[in-house]
Amino acid sequence: MNMTRKEIYDHIWTRTVQGFADDYDLNYPLLLRRIKEAGIPRPSRKEILFIRQGEAGLRAIHRPELPGNPDEEVKLTRRRDAKPMGTAGPSPQNETKGKKAAKKAPAEPEPEEPLPDEAPALIDYENHPRWTSLYFLPQAERRRVIRETEAIGIREGSLLHPKVMEFRKEIDAWQTQVEILGDESIADAIVDKPRIIERVSLECIERVLQILDSLYTSVELLGGNVLEDGSVVLHEQVVALKFTESRARVPVEPSVYDELSEEGAKQWTLHYTGKLTLSVGYLYSVRDRKKSRIEDRLGDTLELLFLTAFQLSQNREGDGDRRELDSFSRELERTEELVQQARDYEDAVRIRTLIKAVQKKLSTGELEYRDYFPTWAAWASEKAEWLDPTVGFRDAALGRRHDPILQPPKSDS
């Protein structure tokens, strides 16, 4: 049977490719091949979910344009067991007559072409490497998860997951503040840097969003949910996702401040390397390698999500394990805060050293604008006080950056 490219396009974007094949008794693998050869765009996994929701879902889909000649015909192959087109099942009164007619003139089925080379091979689930590692899942769910780990990949040309779109808006708002203020640390005091990119450079943000888009879509296809903070829920267990980009020491040329400072010139600085690590919960991580990136191992990441959820369900059966996990999380947050306080204190000391160096230059007549020095020195001193965690100064424009450094930690109760 033949159909135009426009007819096929309309069918698969209202009924999905599988639904179109079922409606017309078509050979599914050969239908995929014909659609690919004809250059007809297909809906992604996310768009298939909307199509299955009916009219409400169809209104939410952005259908791409059909390139090429819409009236060009495409040959389609029907299944071996398909009924002839245009024939209905025999009515009760004509059933005997229909059987006799079928014996006299048996209908020869349309010859079926051999499967193409790119047709998806059947998965031998019980011999699959992940069949053993996902032992805790029921067999039916285990097959679905394994099938999704083989199919998952970066989705090109599709609408982003709603949660990823929210992250993009938050990142755009933060970047706008950075551009206006010209300093990332000052921007953080006004608009919090999105937690999802807290330790990631601007160059890797798009990679992070694409990875999350694929993982979120697959998790929801497998019955999970995505929370507001970007964590995922599988089997009633919350699994956190965290991205970290490695940094390396890079030599730097000494600045004017370094030459004036009594502590000596700084010989190196830390620069992002572009290599990402995705932490899945507290136990597992997937990182960029020399010959592969996280995008190439999304199937492994999806497997780790289910494995982490299972282990959390086992660990949280006892209240003691849960308290231990919460205590570890709080201690980690306090340690990270302590490191930030040490960095801010170092910056405050550097500002005060700079003020003294400028004052020394003024006394020797090497610098001009003596009248402006008191105003500038007062302003710079306030910024040093604002950064210094031992002071906890509240700036009129920036607010308070640090609480008292010796404030007792909150009780576990």
Tens of pLDDT, residues 340-397 = 888 888 998 999 999 888 888 887 777 766 778 888 888 999 888 888 888 878 888 8
SS3 244: strand
Phi, psi (deg, nearest 5) at residue 22: -70, -40
Pick the closest to residue 210 from 238, 235, 243 (CA basis). Answer: 243
SS3 273: strand
**Are residues 16 and 48 in contact, defined by beta-carbon separation less than 8 angstroms?**
yes
Taking the chain, what is the end-to-end CA distance rounded to the nearest angstrom? 72
What does the pLDDT read at residue 141?
92
What does the pLDDT read at residue 329?
74
**Are residues 232 and 224 in contact, defined by beta-carbon separation less than 8 angstroms?**
yes
What does the pLDDT read at residue 80?
65
At a CB cut-off of 8 Å and minimum separation 6, what does 379 contact? none
SS3 363: helix
Q: Tell me how long the chain is.
A: 413
Q: How many CB atoms lie within 10 A of CB 148?
A: 19
Determine the average pLDDT of the residues in 132-139.
90
Determine the average pLDDT of the residues in 14-19.
85
Which of 218-232, 240-254, 371-385 shows the lowest per-residue confidence on average (mean pLDDT)?
A: 240-254
pTM exceeds cut of 0.75 = no
What does the pLDDT read at residue 99?
46
Determine the average pLDDT of the residues in 118-135.
77
What does the pLDDT read at residue 232?
92
Is the pLDDT assigned to residue 317 strictly greater than 80?
no
**Are residues 292 and 275 in contact, defined by beta-carbon separation less than 8 angstroms?**
no
What does the pLDDT read at residue 197?
75
What does the pLDDT read at residue 155?
83
Query: Using one digit for the tens of pLDDT, what is the confidence trace for 262-314?
Result: 555 556 777 888 899 999 988 889 999 888 899 999 999 999 999 999 988 88
Query: Using one digit for the tens of pLDDT, what is the confidence trace for 74-93?
Result: 888 887 655 555 444 444 44
What is the 8-class DSSP label of residue 78? B
Comparing 186 with 356, the larger pLDDT belongs to 356
